[in-house]
Amino acid sequence: MHTIEQLNNGELQGIQRLKLAEQLTELPREILTLADSLEILDLSDNLLTDLPEWLTELPKLKIVFASNNRFTHLPLVLGRCQKLEMVGFKSNQIVRVSGDALPKPLRWLILTDNQVEQLPEALGHRPRLQKLALAGNKLKALPQSFSKLINLELVRLSANQLEQFPDVLLELPKLAWMAFAGNPFCERVNHTESVPSVSAASYQLNQVLGQGASGVISHANWLNNDDEFPKEVAVKVFKGEVTSDGYPCDELQACLQTGHHNNLVKSIGQVNEEDTLALVMELIPNDYFNLGLPPTLETCTRDVFKADFTLSVTQIEKIVDQMIDVFNHLHTNKVCHGDLYAHNVLINDHGEMIFGDFGAASVYDYLNETQQRGVRKIEARALSHFIDDLLSVCKPREIQTASYQSLRNLALIAG
């Protein structure tokens, strides 16, 4: 976090990333003193309603974040920023998105949790677009030009007002990760009772184990004296009405419809109370650790790994075999995970895998057979990328082996 005082005093010369959050209603022109170096401008958590024309005088600007402000439209000046690739305006009140506001080099557009009712045809004429986050808006249809997004790899369309499944998604040649739950075309099935309903009074929350867009996972003690539940559990308490992936209730439904599998986080109870929506799960043993790390601003849609992290071909084969089994289980139960990534996988030193995080999952058993096949095909591309990402950290001395080539061929077939 930086301050306007630092900016005015010249203390920030040469920085590439500037973050200002001081209840700003307009941008200080002194930002132009950073024109020679500034690439990322983070204006989240202010009171902004528009951006100034002089933003085009920042020749190296690649990324603008402006979440949690008061924008009702996407600022037109963005479209005139020559190198701007990433635009993030989550949680504003944006209703209007003009095609003129979309920069030509656009790769990543985030408009989650706004009031957008219609997207411009110009969106389809941004051929570099790879990642598009639109959950929690009021979209009733996608522009016809959507079919031209030949490089789109990830899309979030959950929690909108789409009246029909957008078949155009099935035609996009690179789409691998998608979420579409919580729209009018989605049939509201009866709430799955694959695990028993319990009361929030049945457990006591302790330390936080992790958190994401949709909720907080905590260690908890089971208070009731019964043999059905272990004394220690993990509880995911869902938060908010809409997340970056969609509605929490749809995440819960997809998780429960998936059912049990040895390589999935095991659900053992659900809480559906007026003020609490939660999932009770078995604790994951302490010897499990994250397989990968989420995509960076640079990689956009592809996972990264810790420095110097490597896997043997044998380890990769074991992980891939388990993920293929999980993939088949998911789609047998007509659930598209939507976030099939290494960063959602936990492994132990024996290569045993646990997969989780159903935030972007969509149940799809109500779609017609052609659409169902298309959904599975799209997620198969994610599986292909998963294998490819693991091969990127294969031990160098094993790259020439037959087993490595076999995995490479498997990745090609899956995609």
Q: What residue numbers does the annotated binding site for ATP cover? A: 236
| Residues listed for the chain | 415
What distance in Å separates the CA atoms of residue 60 and residue 81, rounded to the nearest whole number? 9
Task: Tell me whether residue 306 is exposed, middle or buried, using C-beta atoms within 10 angstroms of its C-beta: 0 to 12, 13 to 18, 19 or more.
Answer: exposed
Question: Residues marked as binding?
Answer: 236
Distances (CA, A) of 43 to 53, 107, 209, 254: 16, 19, 29, 35
What distance in Å separates the CA atoms of residue 154 and residue 300, rounded to the nearest whole number? 9
Confirm if 270 and 280 have CB atoms less than 8 A apart.
yes
Tokens of 4: 């306007």
What distance in Å separates the CA atoms of residue 88 and residue 6, rounded to the nearest whole number? 25
Which of 204, 190, 202, 116 is closest to 159 using CA atoms? Answer: 116
First vs last C-alpha separation in the chain: 41
What distance in Å separates the CA atoms of residue 201 and residue 222, rounded to the nearest whole number? 9
Confirm if 174 and 150 have CB atoms less than 8 A apart.
yes
